[in-house]
Amino acid sequence: MSLKDKNIVIGVCGSIAAYKIATLIRLLVKEQANVQVIMTPDAQHFITPLTLATLSKNPVHSTYFDEQSGTWHNHVDIGLNADLLLIAPATANTISKMANGGCDNLLLATYLSARCTVMFAPAMDLDMWLHPATQRNVSLLQTYGNVLIEPENGELASGLIGQGRLAEPEEILLRIQQFFTDDLPLKGKKALVSAGPTYEAIDPVRYIGNHSSGKMGYAIAERLVTLGADVTLVSGPTALQVSKNINRIDVQSAKDMLDACEQYFDNADIVVMSAAVADYTPTTVADQKIKKKEDHFQIELTKTVDILAHLGQKKAATQSLVGFALETNNELENALGKLKRKNLDFIVLNSMQDKGAGFAHDTNKITIINRDGNKNEFALKSKTEVAKDLCQVITKHQHTVNPSS
């Protein structure tokens, strides 16, 4: 959704994570929001006002009075004109002052004057975040009606690993978009997405797998959330990260993925099966590592359950069921066969013959085919853009099969 003409005030505090705000401002400006930045004095040690002023296209405020220009920065007007006040990164010091009514700089005065919703995204070291005083202050702010954007887990500036990292700019943007939109096209819809490979164990250390990165499925899940859907992502092994508001279920094998998908399928309005599921699995799994002895070694394989076909048999008329076909030859013929055989509403065809498409790439080139055989071909795009194209088709289908929803 567009944030056009929304007045968003960003309060930047003194944290190494302040560099991320440059990216966030670019994203907000791209969405046509009006961005006003207020920096605490310490924030200017980490990123310059000039950088943020250039990106926001507005002067950055830090003091009540600019001696050079003679301009008075009216904190009351700033607070009253804001549609949203976001404080990010919010340090332990600023959180403490917000919780207890401190008012020793322009940002805090604006906070106390604001009548709009206030979001705060903490950033600090692990032990500071976990300290009872910080947790108490965060809880107090939430009782005031302020919205917490939780810090993420990961490597911190101190070298420790744990919770305390500022949420990524894309995550913060998503939260802002959701705040401003009550009429998202998929609001109230439940979506199930599968992504990534499956690993079929041979012994405790070896497996049969494939080269799927999961990037396409993850992009689809993120886009469905942006459109308002309640998303469950069933993911095979991958190093990819996902937004906190996506219900991620991690699985290993085709059987694990089948069980997880069955659990969420009946309640899902939208089902997108983009995972690369193994067609075969070892009939028996060795209890111990198989030693390299024979010159030739055979493994007996058993066909796995075709998850997409299995779900297609249970599909309701009000569900949108989407499958993927990654083909190397006879692409269209094979995709159409899968579409009909598995009772899909749409199949997304991509070919290994297309440069930049398929596994591991950040781009993809797809053709979407509906159950009537109608094709919609798209140029090579980033997987994020591909997800937008696909989700637009899904949204239209949902409004067709559920016109009153």
Are the CB atoms for 251 and 232 separated by under 8 Å? no
Query: How, if at all, do strands 346-351 and 367-370 pair?
Result: antiparallel
Cα 64 versus chain centre, distance = 38
In whole angstroms, give the CA distance from residue 103 to residue 275.
52
**Around Cβ 12, how many Cβ atoms within 10 Å?**
32
217 φ/ψ angles, rounded to the nearest 5 degrees: -65, -40
Where b means 16+ CB within 10 Å and e means fewer, 147-164 reads ebbebbeeebeeeeebbb
In whole angstroms, give the CA distance from residue 220 to residue 225.
9
In whole angstroms, give the CA distance from residue 207 to residue 253.
10
Does the annotation count 137 as an active-site position? no
Positive or negative, the Cα torsion across 173, 176, 178, 180? negative
Active-site annotation holder among 210, 247, 343, 370: 210
Query: How, if at all, do strands 207-208 and 200-201 pair?
Result: antiparallel
The residues annotated with a catalytic role in the active site are 210
